[in-house]
Amino acid sequence: MVEAALADAARTLSPLDDVVVDTVAAETISPEHSVLADERLKYLRAAVEALPEKMRYVVEEIYFGGRTVKELAEELGSTHAAVSQQRAEGIRLMRDGLSAHYADDPGQSFEPQSRITARRRHDYLSTLATATLGGITRSFSSPDAALNRAV
């Protein structure tokens, strides 16, 4: 009888670590991740706002306004291809900005994706660097270092 009770007790006990991991681990994001997510969102907004006027309008209307390329082409009196090209170039330019100023790996080399002139890219990256200066997760290197690599 004693042996049966011990066997039963051993079968129902589990290490405390197993139980704690299943019941204590939270699915919510940590304060650190929350700050990073907020900063990334602010940086993305700044990247859109720093786009040249026509690109910014196209990107905002398509991605935030829910409009189609066809609708914008009709409104702007342009071709579908031209509006689509503006949208794609705006996305590439924002990728350049995010890569130059907000790379996950600060040692990563910067390779521009945008097809605009080096001068226009430099102007965009300068505007973006100024708008986002002081972000707490950004590296402490000078914004000019990334700009010089981008030109």
pLDDT at residue 136 in the model: 47
pTM as predicted: 0.64
Nearest to 78 by CA among 43, 48, 54: 54
Q: Do residues 52 and 120 lie in contact, with contact meaning Cβ atoms separated by under 8 Å?
A: yes
Type of residue numbered 31: P
CA–CA separation, 108 and 103 (whole Å): 7
Q: How confident is the model at residue 139 (pLDDT cuts 50, 70, 90)?
A: very low
C-alpha angle with apex 56: 115 to 66, nearest 5 degrees?
A: 115
Type of residue numbered 107: G
| Residues 22-78: tens digit of each pLDDT | 555 566 778 888 887 888 888 888 999 999 999 999 999 999 999 999 999 999 999
Which one of 32-36, 124-128, 130-134, 143-147 scores highest in mean pLDDT? 124-128
Token pair listed for 46: 């700044």
Nearest to 125 by CA among 88, 90, 104, 150: 150
SS3 46: helix
